Amino acid sequence: MKKISVGIDISKKTLDASIYSGSGGQPWIKTTNSEDGFVKIINWVEKQGFNPQEVMFVMEHTGHYGYALAAFLDAHDMPYTFVAGLEVKHHFPLSRVKNDKNDAKKIAQYFYEVQEREDFRIQTIKASEIYTLSLLLSERNLYVKHRAHLKAQLSETQEYSSANRDERLKTIEKVYSKQIREIEKEITNVIDSTPELKRNYDLIRGIAGIGLVTAVTIIVATANFTRSKNARSFANHICVAPCDKSSGTSVKGGVHTSNIGRKDIKALLSRGVLLAIKYDKGIKSYYERKREEGKHYYCIANAIMFKMVCRIFAVVKRGTPYVETHAYIQ
């Protein structure tokens, strides 16, 4: 039996909610993106004649703007799921209206119509832990960027800069470095205190080339592996999987990676490629063989990143650490 869906369009300050039951109109409400607003939506659902614990609250992935609502629903044992905005968009290809109210109605209708498909998955998260990790990663990335700017200032203007200026910049750089180390400790504490996160984190870190930041970023991006269906799907999401671009006899774009997706995660994986080549015998052998064949470095690196993604999803699905079988081949 299909669940009644409550589609919620989330923005920084407001929420638009709409109910879809398969027939009749779609009631709609607008409120604030705050706890008062969450309570208002729940009360509104009850006034429409539905039990909030028997409907499905459906939201698009909007980064940290939706985590507070997810945490609220988690705490009150109300079912919810996240859906990809691109999938909702493609479900209504001829839509001409674009506003928050209409988006909420589309989200509700989309879930109601696809919820019984075999390939559809309910995507829930332990919102509080994922939200905390997301904020910590964002803060760390901010400090890393600022520190990089300071280092560039020091190196590029050293010839003309005064000693006092250099000292100030170095002092600030040390402050950023200290803050980054403290954030990484806090991230580790969150991981260690959450068994389901700790399990997957340890499995991922056992793969050559995967460090703390890469592992945690992937955990946050996949909501601890509840969002992405498989390695191929995630590889597409991070611009690693090759995509064919051809049509008929005139369009021959060849097979290339897409530029649409989380290129920041691809950048993190690319930094781990050299470590994987250095410490993993199987990948080292693969790299050397492809170089002898004349393949370009970036083409090989992309293939190695895809191998890393496949290993990540394999160990998480299997629940056992990665074993380098190449090491046992004589």
pLDDT, one tens digit per residue, over 160-186 is 778 888 889 899 999 999 999 999 999
* 189-207 pLDDT, tens digit each: 999 999 999 999 999 999 9
| Three-state secondary structure call for residue 296 | coil
Cβ-proximal residues to 206 (8 Å cutoff; 6+ apart), any chain? 315, 321, 322
Q: How far is CA 114 from CA 24, 26, 52, 89, 164, in A?
A: 19, 18, 20, 13, 64
Integer Cα distance of 55 and 49 in angstroms: 11
Tokens of 284: 């080292």
Integer Cα distance of 28 and 105 in angstroms: 8
Give the CA radius of gyration of the chain: 23
| Three-state secondary structure call for residue 166 | helix
Which pLDDT belongs to residue 328? 47
248: region left, alpha or beta (phi > 0 left; psi from -120 to 50 alpha): left
- Using a cut of 0.85, tell me whether the model's pTM lies above it: no
Integer Cα distance of 50 and 283 in angstroms: 55
* 99-147 pLDDT, tens digit each: 889 999 999 999 898 888 766 666 665 567 888 898 899 999 999 999 9
